[in-house]
Structure 1
Amino acid sequence: MSEDGARTGPNGRVIGGRYRLIERIGSGGMGTVWRAADELVGREVAVKQPRLPGDPEDAAHQRAANRLYREARAAARVEHPAAVAIHDVVVEDTLPWIVMELVRGESLHELLRRGPLEATEAARIGLAVLGALRAAHAVGIVHRDVKPANVLLGPPPLSNALKRGNPHRRVVLTDFGIAHIQGEESLTASGEFVGSLEFIAPERMSGRGAGPASDLWSLGVLLYAAVEGWSPFRRTTLESTLAAILAADPPEPKQAGPLGPLLLRLLVKDPDRRPGADEVGAVLEAVVEGWPVPVPSGGPAGEESQDASGLREFAEDSGTVRLRSEAAAREADEPAPEPTSEATEGTSGAEVTGPPTASGSQRRSWLLRPVPVAVLGVLLVAGTWFTTSSFLVDNDDGKVMNPVYTAPLAPASTPSPTDLTWTGHREEKLGAVLSVPSRYELLHRQGSPTDQPRLVIYEGDRISVRLTRWDKVSGPVRSQAGLHSSYWKLTDDRAATQYNDTGFQGYDAVLADTAYEDGDVPTRVMELFVKTDDGRLYALRVTMPKGTAREKEGTAVFKGARDRLEIE
């Protein structure tokens, strides 16, 4: 490990006294990757420059630095032709710059922008990725971020090219930056997840940790996206993507051919019921070679044991987002990103082709504001509330294209809560009457008996009132309240919720009061959960900025809406 300081030369900055930076070839939430010249041995390499949030004294900054240190140590222990080779770690200003082999080519994510792959080619790529994962698992390392952006496709190895003109490109799995070394204490704080959301296994989302089966789940999502052209769990909002992972079954693949049964078995929610690496490898090899696919050793995938009925609010509220081809982009008058000629790290934090079309009201409110892309790359570390937020993408400079709302939290004059006048709205599809301040406007309404859940949102000035109904949930109301309130912990690991068991119109109920930070904005959420005798669950939620004049109004709105709520 080099410890030399950096210096600036006429041809660019030199790192560690030997690696001269030439050009940037990738950028994302966790860092920038440079093509560099190793002046000591005369070869080109890739150098990953860290990009960390906050002040160096901050706990979040230090956790991110620890992850980068661990990336180099973890990746260096993995020896496999499909695993990127780490050459050196250079410490600059207490942060590690990671020097690795330069893989010329493009990422699988970039390739899939031009359309899906044939099953045989997807299986070949999957077999190489599986080999790298098995090598990692053999030394106690779980990758935890297997996704198309972290799979690089380089030129074919010379030995392969000389064999009967084999044209197959080399496959390389990169970015062990969030790898977990089994047996070591986790460096992430409680409630903090890292990874790319739609590829994260459900057991990690529910707090059960990651194991080799989690990487196989991610491989299954990757292969599904490769053959179908779209991810089975990606939705247009963060919260709906999370819920789809936890609660939704993936649609049966239409273009996977012999890979189809394997994909569905890899995406079973229970990690103990997924096929093991040996079985996955046997099926992938059979598809590549054109052999009969082996019969599964386990039974068919059944219902998962996890009760995520309360998450149907988010699982079905938005359609899946498909990977777009260049032709489709041209039809929409939106140019598709040009594939890079050189790549070495899948550093993009969000793999989306553009923000979704807003439904409901055409105006963008603070409730519907974009989510910073860094949140996607490190997955909810900085904290942004899971609501109907639009995705946000990086431009080529790694900058956020649409800034987060930064206007003052409250206007100069704020109406007194005692001046509120109320209007009752009969929500037929919810079977309830919801009363809100008369000046509050309808923002969004959705749901039916076949489209769960049913919900309605009204909004004032930075205060929102939301009523949601699920037709059937299992478990006590307190467990449902805890399930929903756990989202705040995903958003902000310092979020605190207070619960109070109560009753409402003769039904069991729970009050929940949560304080958390939405980015840099202190936020308070007050909720009432009511479960009826026939299994319906109602949730009344009022969201407000904390520590401002609006908080006083928000608390009055919650109490008024609660006292006036009528459930049929």
Structure 2
Amino acid sequence: MSNDGGGTGAQSRSVGGRYRLIERIGSGGMGTVWRAYDDLVQRDVAVKQPRVPGDPEDESHRRAAHRLYREARAAARVDHPAAVTIHDVVVEPERQPDARDGRIDRHRPVGRDGLNAIDAALDGLPWIVMELVRGESLHEVLRRGPLDPREAARIGLAVLGALRAAHAVGIVHRDVKPANVLLGPQQRVVLTDFGIAHVQGEESLTAGGESVGSLEFVAPERASGRIAGPASDLWSLGVLLYAAVEGASPFRRTTPQATHAAILAAEPPEPKQAGPLGPLIARLLVRDPYLRPDAEEVAAALAETAGPAAAEAPEGAQEPEHVQELAEDPATPRPEEAAEPPEAGPAERQDPEPPKRPSLLRPAPIALLGALLTGGIGAVTHLGDASSAETAETVETWTPHRDPDLAAVLHLPRHYRELDRTGSATDQPRTVLYGDEQGGTVQVRLLLWDRAPGSPMDQLRNAPVVRGDTRYTRTSVQGHEAALADTTYHLGEDTRRVMRMMIRTDDDRMYELRVDMPKGTPGEKEGTSVFQGARDRIGIAEG
């Protein structure tokens, strides 16, 4: 089969030896959704045929397919009445099989009741098998006019429940928009597309001309190239609520460039029909993700507006009038000419929520984890160079510290120097200490274990550098498992703070970024800035 992104040639095909494709019910920039029939359990299902750009023989294409498979497996763990159920993932060859072996496909079931632990190299694309939700999208409903605040709050509460379930298992949705919210009978609300269509390296415009993503719902931290977390989904929920009561997104403009600029700089107009939802929408659309309300606050506000009738949507069979495609929003301006935000992979659970604090650095582009190291550390590809006047001043203050021993590049303020180095291949972890050689109060460490001693969250919890009040956050960096810890502790009469990020790479190395600072002093402002800047610019070689 050629990689046609889901053309009509796939109709009547059997996927995985059991899912017979019946009809195409929608297509978008990242693939085609089919109505299919599962011959084994005799039920209708939805099957998403992915679209991955490039030649199947290219390394970048194979890596994208592998990432898509991993993310689909992860998304299958999202268990909530308002989250679309993923039954299975089937790996299908992209080219016709060799007639000598008669192979048709390779099938790897990954449903919620038994995720496949085998993560071997793929020889095709993963097709995602989901429940067939028969319903109308919120996008279609809003074409007939806006909703009243109570109904918008009811829908928002269900969407938030699905997002919280996703965040709890390390998934950031990254595409919360009306076209991905389906409304069925019995007041069921279903959020679809849990990150399974977001692949690093994807093109912003497909061969057929369809757009990828919905720029007007993208959080500003993503639009400026920083890591997306649960707070990014809450921003998108705020835009969705605004669109639900006003009929359109507050950031929609006539061109992708104008929409992108509005997300980064324009103040959203005050909603006129939001009623009691107005204050919540305003708080969700704060550009600093640390200043947005947490999920519990949002849930309380939505429940108060929705009233007692907003019980969570029941699980059960849906039989509405027609099937709505699980794909792109046709009314969204195409983002292909706008700055395409790098995908950060699925990410964060707040456990508990991170502390609210002001942003101390203007957004700067991120150095993507997994930068290539070929021919030595000097060949690390740093993908976060300044690209606009807005970020140039900030980027100029950062100096890359290339470290062949740790196979990484750490960006720090220009006055920071290496102060000490410990560890070796037989004395783990390797550690490099940085700081102001004039006696500054902020210390930065980068650590490397050649073999991860555990998961990032387990390592943070089980091997604390100090004892104190700690807030933990599950996250990911460019698809790699990661976690954050923010600890306040006492050292004699002084109060200090240490911020840590732990990353486990695909080849099972583990990196830790650690910044220690005095709390309640100008040094804390410097230290949080250093941590955020170093975190967003880190470059790590692939194994």
Q: Give the structure-1-normalised TM-score.
A: 0.48
Secondary structure of 1:203 counterpart = helix
Distance in 2, Cα, partners of 1:274 & 1:100 = 32
Q: Does 1:112 align with 2:142?
A: yes
Q: Does 1:35 align with 2:39?
A: no
1:107 alignment partner AA: S
Deviations 1:371-406 (A, max 9, x none): xx5848995789xxxxxxxxxxxxxxxxxxxxxxxx
Contact 1:104–1:344 under 8 Å retained in 2: no
Distance in 1, Cα, partners of 2:226 & 2:179 = 25
Secondary structure of 1:218 counterpart = helix
Contact 1:53–1:60 under 8 Å retained in 2: no
1:188 aligns with one of 200, 205, 217: 200
1:236 aligns with one of 254, 274, 285: 254
Distance in 2, Cα, partners of 1:219 & 1:71 = 22
Distance in 1, Cα, partners of 2:391 & 2:76 = 44
Q: Based on CA coordinates, which of the two structures has the bigger radius of gyration? A: 1
Secondary structure of 1:235 counterpart = coil
Segments of 4+ moved more than 6 angstroms: 8-11, 190-194
Q: Does 1:125 align with 2:155?
A: yes
- Give the total of aligned pairs: 301
Q: Does 1:351 align with 2:331?
A: yes
Secondary structure of 2:130 counterpart = strand
Cα distance change, pair 112–10 in 1 and its aligned pair in 2 (3 A): closer
Contact 2:64–2:201 under 8 Å retained in 1: no
Distance in 2, Cα, partners of 1:131 & 1:139 = 13
User: 57-66 vs 103-112, which deviates more?
Assistant: 57-66
2:323 maps to which residue? 342
1:78 maps to which residue? 78
2:252 alignment partner AA: R
Q: Does 1:209 align with 2:189?
A: no
Q: How far apart are residue 154 of structure 1 and its match? A: 1.8
Q: How far apart are residue 50 of structure 1 and its match? A: 1.3
Contact 1:15–1:90 under 8 Å retained in 2: yes
Secondary structure of 1:114 counterpart = coil
1:246 maps to which residue? 264
Q: How far apart are residue 114 of structure 1 and its match? A: 1.0
Secondary structure of 1:232 counterpart = coil
Distance in 2, Cα, partners of 1:479 & 1:374 = 21
Q: Does 1:259 align with 2:277?
A: yes
Q: Which runs of 5+ in 2 are unaligned?
A: 1-7, 94-123, 206-211, 310-319, 344-385, 396-543
Q: Which runs of 5+ in 1 are unaligned?
A: 1-7, 157-168, 181-186, 292-338, 356-372, 383-475, 486-568
Q: How far apart are residue 351 of structure 1 and its match? A: 2.9
Deviations 1:305-355 (A, max 9, x none): xxxxxxxxxxxxxxxxxxxxxxxxxxxxxxxxxx9820251x126534xx8
What does 1:427-442 align with in structure 2 at a 5 Å threshold?
none
Distance in 1, Cα, partners of 2:339 & 2:40 = 34
2:257 alignment partner AA: E
1:188 alignment partner AA: Q
Contact 1:67–1:177 under 8 Å retained in 2: no
Distance in 2, Cα, partners of 1:285 & 1:50 = 36
1:269 aligns with one of 287, 308, 316: 287
Distance in 1, Cα, partners of 2:10 & 2:157 = 44
Contact 1:144–1:179 under 8 Å retained in 2: no
Over the matched positions of the two proteins, sequence identity in percent amounts to 71
User: 119-128 vs 45-54, which deviates more?
Assistant: 45-54
1:285 maps to which residue? 303
Cα distance change, pair 63–240 in 1 and its aligned pair in 2 (3 A): farther
Distance in 2, Cα, partners of 1:278 & 1:109 = 26
2:328 alignment partner AA: S
Contact 2:179–2:328 under 8 Å retained in 1: yes
Secondary structure of 2:190 counterpart = strand
Distance in 2, Cα, partners of 1:233 & 1:101 = 32
Distance in 2, Cα, partners of 1:15 & 1:148 = 29
Secondary structure of 1:56 counterpart = coil
1:155 alignment partner AA: P
Q: How far apart are residue 237 of structure 1 and its match? A: 0.7
Contact 1:146–1:199 under 8 Å retained in 2: yes
1:13 maps to which residue? 13
Q: Does 1:89 align with 2:89?
A: yes
User: 101-110 vs 47-56, which deviates more?
Assistant: 47-56
What does 1:153-232 align with in structure 2 at a 5 Å threshold?
153-156=183-186, 169-178=187-196, 188=200, 195-232=213-250
Aligned-pair RMSD on alpha carbons?
3.7
Distance in 1, Cα, partners of 2:338 & 2:22 = 25
2:214 alignment partner AA: S
2:331 alignment partner AA: E
Deviations 1:447-496 (A, max 9, x none): xxxxxxxxxxxxxxxxxxxxxxxxxxxxx9994484899xxxxxxxxxxx
Cα distance change, pair 10–198 in 1 and its aligned pair in 2 (3 A): closer
